[in-house]
Amino acid sequence: MSDCEVKCRNNGPLLLSGSFTLKDSDEAQFDLGGRETIALCRCGHSENKPFCDGAHSRKNFISEIKVPSKEE
């Protein structure tokens, strides 16, 4: 069982929930202020990257992620 869950939201951000740390490319850790759920930008338009600021809805970002069905 994982301590962190990542949920892909259609046409929106990635939601991270649980116990995790978030670091930049220099290994500096973001201050999450004790939050256990955050939304990470997928559309690239957020003014607060890597966090989602809702820009996906203003920019009409379209992207659906589904688990591929298993062929038997």
How far is it, in rounded angstroms, from Cα 52 to Cα 23? 16
Domain ranges of the chain: 1-65
- CA 26, 32, 38, 39 dihedral sign is negative
pLDDT in tens, 25-61: 999 999 999 999 999 999 999 999 999 999 999 999 9
The DSSP bridge pattern shows strands 14-18 and 37-40 to be antiparallel
Q: CATH assignment of 1-65?
A: 3.40.5.90
Indicate whether 2 pLDDT > 80.
no
How far is it, in rounded angstroms, from Cα 63 to Cα 70? 21
CA distances from 10 to 13, 22, 29, 33, 36 (A): 8, 22, 28, 26, 21
